[in-house]
Amino acid sequence: MIRTRPLRERKALAFAFDEAAEGEFEGYASVFGLTDQGRDVVAPGAFRRSLRARGVGGVKLLFQHDAREPIGVWRDIREDERGLYVRGRILPELQRGRDVLALMRAGALDGLSIGYQLVRSRMDRKAGTRVLLDVDLWEISVVTFPLLPAARITRVKRNRFNRTDAALAAALRNFSDDLRKGP
């Protein structure tokens, strides 16, 4: 009679805990073809040159256009058929970031506004507006009252983990690490 020892099996389950959604939001910082309260209209393509030159990292995310109040980072800035689409992340590690995020989630703060230097424009005398053809985009701010009422935050992501979930996630990570180490 042949006795065999059962082979010892080790199975590990990989866990991915993506908490990057905390503080993320999206919206439109500018909408093409609409007249703002300053009688300016942004034309499609007005941001193209600037975005190519600066990239997403070269445009600052500020609170109320205050250069002393950076509150996060931009993840994506691009022109689409509607306007200047943005996706950013407010940093909840900052006190101002936590305050802004709470106000955004409550719907009390939902405006976006662009800070730029004008490169090229033309006057539309019939409409009484200035058409912005090329702007050097420096910053985009979360604001209370946007000059263009349609420039709004459209979605704020919530952290999928509450404190209990975070504790469970930590325990599962430790368990997974233990499984990988073996007996």
Out of 30, 50, 113, 141, which one is annotated catalytic? 113
Determine whether 113 is an active site residue. Answer: yes
DSSP class of 154: E
Out of 30, 50, 121, 139, which one is annotated catalytic? 139
Residue with tokens 């691009």: 78
Out of 65, 69, 79, 176, which one is annotated catalytic? 65
Give which of 117, 107, 53, 56 is closest to 85, Cα–Cα. Answer: 56
Q: What is the dihedral of CA 19, 23, 26, 27, to 10 degrees?
A: 170
162 CB contacts (<8 Å, ≥6 apart)? none
Determine whether 139 is an active site residue. Answer: yes
Buried b (16+ CB within 10 A) or exposed e, 11-50: eeeeeeeeeeebbbbebbbbbbeebbeeebbbbeebbeeb
Determine whether 26 is an active site residue. Answer: no
Active site members? 65, 113, 139
